[in-house]
Amino acid sequence: MKKVLFSILFIGNYVASQAQEKDSTILKNTDLHEVIIRGVNNSADVSSEYTSRIPLKNLENPQVTHSVNSKLILNRNYFVQYNMLSNVTGVSPSWAGVSPYYTVRGFRTRSNFRNGILGYVASDIDPVNIAQLDVVKGPSGTLFGSSMTVFGGVINRVTVKPQDDNFTSITLAGGNNNFQRATFDVNTKLDTESKGLMRITGAYTNKESFQDQGVYQNLFLAPSLLIRYPIS
């Protein structure tokens, strides 16, 4: 009886040791050391760099600035600028003829600036090449140094620029009153060392209305080229 009990205990201990050794082997083979996740933020806010005129971080900029980024523009399918400005408090459209005027804190102004430089636009252009729309509120807009600024604020358009990557984006939209819109955004590297970058954005928009003055047709194309030269 003692021999049989000893044999059972020996077999049980042997099976348990073999299972433990097998489990430890599995754990060693599937040991996880580290996980690296990389991503790119395509909607980085660059408003502080343009509005303060010096390289400040957003938290260090004391100016009151509201921004409409590219993701919001794409999700809302904006194709006119005054619709984009509806997301900024204190700004309202104030039309006068065919040239769009806006009221910023009670002062009338236009969307006069492009990338921080005066670029007068007499009509409401297609915003397909706008990466970000900034509204600098208050008298700090006079830092742009032009007779086109007002004490209410400044509207600045930040346009898209060539990126160090290859990508293509195409969007189609449709609606009532025969609304049709197609946009494309193509970015490519011209060489393997990324010394030459090219980007082309464009849009076609057709919109009708029950009124005679509601017909809208527009074709927009904006190519941009970036050449990098090494500084010795």
In degrees and rounded to multiples of 5, residue 60 shows phi and psi of -95, -5
d(CA 65, CA 71): 18
Question: What's the gap between Cα 93 and its chain centre?
Answer: 24
Tens digit of each residue's pLDDT, the chain (232 residues) = 544 444 544 455 544 555 444 444 444 556 666 676 655 555 555 555 666 666 766 666 666 778 888 788 878 878 778 788 888 888 887 765 556 788 888 888 878 788 878 876 656 678 888 888 888 887 767 677 767 777 778 888 888 889 888 889 898 988 888 889 999 999 999 888 888 899 999 999 898 888 877 788 889 899 999 998 776 5
Question: What's the gap between Cα 53 and its chain centre?
Answer: 21
